[in-house]
Amino acid sequence: MKVIKFGGSSLASGKQIEKVFQIVVSDPERKVVVVSAPGKRFSEDQKVTDLLIECAEQCLLNKNPKETLDSVLERYAIIAEELALTNGIIEEIRHDLSERLNGDRSKPDRFMDLVKASGEDNHAKLVAAYFRKQGIEAHYIDPQDAGLLVSDEPGNAQVLEESYGTLFSLRERSGILIFPGFFGYSKEGEVFTFSRSGSDITGSILANGLKVDLYENFTDVDAVYSVNPYIVERPKAIKELTYREMRELSYAGFTVLHDEALVPAFQAGIPVQIKNTNNPTAPGTRIVYERDNTNGPVIGIASDQGFCSIYVSKYLMNREIGFGRKLLSILEEFGLSYEHTPSGIDDVSIILRENQISSELENEIKERIKTELQADEVKIEHGLALIMVVGEGMRRNVGTMARASKALAKAKVNIEMINQGSSEVSMMFGVKEQEEKKAVQALYEEFFAAVTV
Amino acid sequence: MKVIKFGGSSLASGKQIEKVFQIVVSDPERKVVVVSAPGKRFSEDQKVTDLLIECAEQCLLNKNPKETLDSVLERYAIIAEELALTNGIIEEIRHDLSERLNGDRSKPDRFMDLVKASGEDNHAKLVAAYFRKQGIEAHYIDPQDAGLLVSDEPGNAQVLEESYGTLFSLRERSGILIFPGFFGYSKEGEVFTFSRSGSDITGSILANGLKVDLYENFTDVDAVYSVNPYIVERPKAIKELTYREMRELSYAGFTVLHDEALVPAFQAGIPVQIKNTNNPTAPGTRIVYERDNTNGPVIGIASDQGFCSIYVSKYLMNREIGFGRKLLSILEEFGLSYEHTPSGIDDVSIILRENQISSELENEIKERIKTELQADEVKIEHGLALIMVVGEGMRRNVGTMARASKALAKAKVNIEMINQGSSEVSMMFGVKEQEEKKAVQALYEEFFAAVTV
């Protein structure tokens, strides 16, 4: 049994939904279909979810949302027409939306969630109607009926553990189950949405709850690539990678699948297959618990800009119990999260995303560290890029660091920082932002030039 | 003007003191001579300081210290005889010791410091007497008269800032000044000793106070070596290194000069020359504020065993503000000091000296980290060695890491951990203890085979 999830662009038009239908019925194991709201048909198009947010905002400002509402309804109407569905489904959606928009506005966040969630909810009903019209037994599943319970955090709902047991009984239902993504219900029966990539989260939760064999995630790319295609032309696709590798890669620039979305499937040990709705015969990328290491030590290279480092030095720092803790406490008081803390004997650097720090805050931080820790020197350096070289195969591979650092030296890239040793599946290099591209290209050349991934 | 300090083995016998005299008078700039207590004459010999500690312990246990006291006096008597000094000096020392031993025992730590300090104090008097006998104007300097004020921490006295100003006036005194190392006086006039390498500390304080041009530290080795001679045979000597390099090297295994002892000289920017009393024409090693980088990127390689790592992993740890701080707080509550904290995305390792942790404590720490931080996994790995590759020249040298890691890969050494980036003058490798020797040899081969240091 499989859970199969389709993203917004895969469901943006009647033509796309026809593809989705063909994909689902081509494999009898595809039991549960998780549906997103209609996405963009072309790059300037608007997503239905964005229109719904606009709608809800207008209501909250006591403006008339009619025009925006009409745009939403028109999107569904066009799709229904393309799929030759009867007008009944559009009337149902119109009725649902008008009920939501007339709902309780006393808690704006919750009102927003209620309206936003309609994009997936109504599209699931439409998709189910189309499947039935094609002569297939298909049912829209109401997340509340199915027991998808979540915490009452607007825009950031967390699945409640007890949901998994209840969801398991969906296995008994007949036909194909069309399940709306992106939201669940609180114990009080209110709608709450997940954070971004919410439909991915729904699919992952259902995969766990139903204990399926595979979670298929259909999107609009053929595969996860070994490196950013904007940096290296036509990079190799990754056929298989582990959860750990995915997590390390997604940290810095790999955004095909939001890593938090994977957690429920990950916890149940269910593999995830990423595929392309527009090219379903392409093998795609499989995310697994374990994989064979037959293709060299490195599976992918990710990089991201926008980091800075806070350098603190103090003679004999090393002997001062509590120094590191006090330093981190100061950052915590400013609400800053940090990435790494490479250290020498008498100095330590804290690497963090620089968008967290204004220049005013920067001076305040410096001052506090100087005064409270009696540091000899505090300086902040901007414009760092972090490069992650990732692969389970480097775990016991003696020469990987030598190859990587040699490739960087050959490309005349100065390594500002190396962090290796805690994670067994990655090593991290810090370089100046203007050297990021050159560095990534050199590393790709070294590890992928003669390797099939 | 120079401050010149001699270690215990340089003053262990009449013959050695004759060498010291020749060294001092050969350079008119050598104004202040800092004297240690008589050290070992041969490897099974006892240091006078150790005999004095025994003496004090016997007193504190109300045992008769006579036999030990006689051994102390005998050491001085032999030296006096070798130097053909009159009996007066020995009587003076006997009188001093009996006064100290009959002193206040109500605070054992302070009594201990009072007795211990006599080793240097009396030897300074003897050495001054010998210099005078040789026809040179030389004066024993009482640290209390000179104004060497320290905090009242037995065995760990810290110099008080105001001492420096007072000590400066020693410049005005005529003749050669023989100054006992290892101790100072509290504001209340009590004796307190420094921590280990106490005479080095005295020399360093005097160098700062008198604002001399050079602090010469005479010991029993020709130089600081670029690597441990037990690991690499006949390693190259270092002619010049910076304070920072010295500090990084002394962290792991370089024990010629205790790094804390350097702080006062370091603060005043005074260079330190390490020389050999038994081979004074050897150039020795100079520790400076800045040096030219003409000899390759690496100046020395140090290593030390006995480290362990506490590995903590938790999925999405990276997003949890305060995780690192909480982890370090737990260690701090156990009074543990740590060395480095390399981190991945979802994991962090804490490297610390394993002699701090019993196996009982180990389980307690694990349990607390698991429970309080809800970590997915906590494991402790023992038997790590840290290797420091040090040199100011690597600051902007693109290929140093490539050379180092390639050398290790070639020697089939697996790198458990790399920490590079905060300190600009070192990089650190973690390896298994059984690979330490092989790793250091490979690195030495790479960086020193064709280089004169």
Beta strand B176-180 with B138-140 is parallel
Average pLDDT, chain B: 91
Query: What mean pLDDT do residues B67-96 have?
Result: 96
Q: pLDDT digit string (tens) for A43-84?
A: 999 999 999 999 999 999 999 999 999 999 999 999 999 999
Sign of CA pseudo-dihedral B47, B53, B56, B58: negative
Q: Which residues in chain A have Cβ-Cβ distances shorter than 8 Å to B260?
A: 316
Mean pLDDT along residues B124-139: 97
Residue with tokens 């400002």: A61
Task: Tell me if A328 and B332 make a contact (CB, 8 A cut-off).
Answer: no
Is the pLDDT assigned to residue B17 strictly greater than 60? yes
- Secondary structure class of B102 (helix, strand, coil): coil
| The length of chain A, given as a count of residues | 453
Query: What tokens appear for B201 in the block?
Result: 């500390």
Pairwise CA distance, residues B264 & B201, whole Å: 8
Name the strands in the sheet holding A214-219, side by side, starting at the edge strand that comes first in the sequence: A138-140, A176-180, A30-35, A2-6, A214-219, A272-276, A285-288, A240-242
How many CB atoms neighbour CB B153 within 10 A? Answer: 15
Q: Which of B128, B217, B142 is nearest to B178 (CA)?
A: B128
Q: Which residue in A has a C-alpha nearest to residue B334's C-alpha?
A: A321
> Out of B322, B349, B405, whose CB is closest to A332?
B322
Residue of A nearest to B328 (CA): A325
At residue A345 the predicted structure's pLDDT band, cuts being 50, 70 and 90, is confident
Beta partners for residue A219, in sequence order: A276
Q: Pick from B316, B322, B426: which is nearest to A344 by CB?
A: B426
Q: List CB contacts (< 8 A) between B247 and chain A.
A: 315, 345-346
What DSSP character marks residue B374? -
> Which residues from B are below 8 Å from A331, CB to CB?
325
Model confidence at A259, pLDDT cuts 50, 70, 90, reads: confident
What CA–CA distances, in Å, run from A252 to A402, B259, B323? 22, 40, 20
Q: Which of B337, B417, B421 faces A430 most closely, judged by CB atoms? A: B421
Q: How confident is the model at residue B312 (pLDDT cuts 50, 70, 90)?
A: very high
pLDDT score at B396:
66
User: From 3.40.47.10, 1.20.1250.20, 2.170.190.11, 3.40.1160.10, which CATH number describes the A2-220 domain?
Assistant: 3.40.1160.10
Instruction: Give me A151's structure tokens.
Output: 């915490």
pLDDT of B197 above 80: no
Domains A2-220 and A300-448 fall in the same CATH topology: no
What does the block give as tokens for A101?
Answer: 């928009």
Name the one residue in this structure whose structure tokens are 């740590």: B338
The residue ranking higher by pLDDT, A420 or A153, is A153
β-pair partners for B352: B308, B338
H helices within B317-452, ranges in order? Answer: 323-333, 359-373, 400-410, 436-448
Place B342 in a pLDDT band, splitting at 50, 70 and 90.
Answer: confident
- Under the banding of pLDDT at 50, 70 and 90, the label for residue A257 is low
Q: What is the mean pLDDT of residues B316-342?
A: 86
Nearest CA in chain A to B413: A398
Q: Which residues of B touch A247 (CB under 8 A)?
A: 315, 345-346
pLDDT-derived band at B174, boundaries 50, 70, 90: very high
Looking at residue B450, its pLDDT comes to 65
* A349/B422 CB distance under 8 A: yes
Residue of B315, B338, B402 lying closest to A263 (CB–CB): B315
Say how far apart CA A293 and CA B267 lie, in whole Å. Answer: 54
Listed by start position, the domains of chain A span: 2-220, 300-448
Residue A399: partners with Cβ closer than 8 Å, 6 or more residues away: B406, B409
* ipTM reported for the complex, 2 dp: 0.76
Please state, for a pLDDT cut of 70, what percent of chain B lies above it.
96
Structure tokens at B219: 């010991």
Tokens standing for B113? Answer: 């410091």
Convert the pLDDT of each residue in B47-72 to its tens digit: 999 999 999 999 999 999 999 999 99
Close Cβ partners of B213 (under 8 Å, ≥ 6 residues apart): B1, B2, B29, B270, B271
Q: Which backbone phi and psi does A44 adopt, to 5 degrees?
A: -90, -5
Contact B159, B198 (CB under 8 A): no
The helix/strand/coil state of B364 is: helix
DSSP classification of residue B149: B
B428: β partners: B388, B419
C-alpha–C-alpha distance, residues A155 and A113, integer Å: 7
To the question of domain A300-448 being in CATH 3.30.2130.10, the answer is: yes
Query: CA of B426: which chain A residue's CA is closest?
Result: A344
Q: Measured at the alpha carbon of residue A331, what is the angle toward residues A325 and A332, in degrees to the nearest 5?
A: 85
Residue showing tokens 């204004």: A358
What ranges in B83-142 are assigned the alpha helix state H? 88-101, 108-133
Contact B319 A337 (CB under 8 A): yes
Residue B162 β-bridge partners: none
Residue A244 has pLDDT above 90, yes or no: no
CB contact under 8 A, B247 and A324: no
Residue A124 pLDDT more than 90? yes
Residue ranges of alpha helices (H) inside A27-87 are: 48-60, 66-82
Per-chain mean pLDDT for chain A: 91
